[in-house]
């Protein structure tokens, strides 16, 4: 099975929204390869540090919320 790394990255950046604290920090409890790709895409600060959380860039914070809402929010059914 081939894995679409971009879809993994989207799910992880969306899930970082769940642990967002201090305006732009999220717990970095995901695999290092994914966090490195998100860093290379400019969505998070360098994950290699002594902290247990990672900073989201301005773009990363926006993308995180956008994808979280797209992937996980319940959408009310339209009433006819």
Using H for helix, E for strand and C for coil, what is the string for 9-53?
A: HHHHHHHHHHHCECCCEEECCCCHHHHHHHHHCCCECCCCCCCCE
Question: Ramachandran region of residue 42, left (φ > 0), alpha (ψ -120 to 50) or beta?
Answer: left
Give residue-wise pLDDT tens across range 16-64. Answer: 999 999 989 999 899 999 999 999 999 999 999 899 999 999 999 999 9
In this predicted model, which residue has the larger pLDDT, 11 or 28? 11
Given this model, what pLDDT does residue 76 score? 72
Q: What is the value of pTM for the model shown?
A: 0.85
């Amino acid at each position: 099975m081939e894995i679409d790394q971009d879809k993994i990255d989207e799910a992880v950046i969306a899930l970082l929204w769940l642990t967002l604290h201090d305006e732009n920090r999220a717990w970095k409890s995901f695999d290092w390869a994914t966090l490195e790709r998100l860093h290379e895409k400019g969505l998070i600060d360098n994950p290699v540090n002594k902290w247990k959380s990672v900073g989201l860039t301005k773009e990363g914070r926006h993308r995180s919320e956008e994808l979280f809402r797209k992937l996980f929010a319940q959408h009310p059914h339209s009433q006819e």
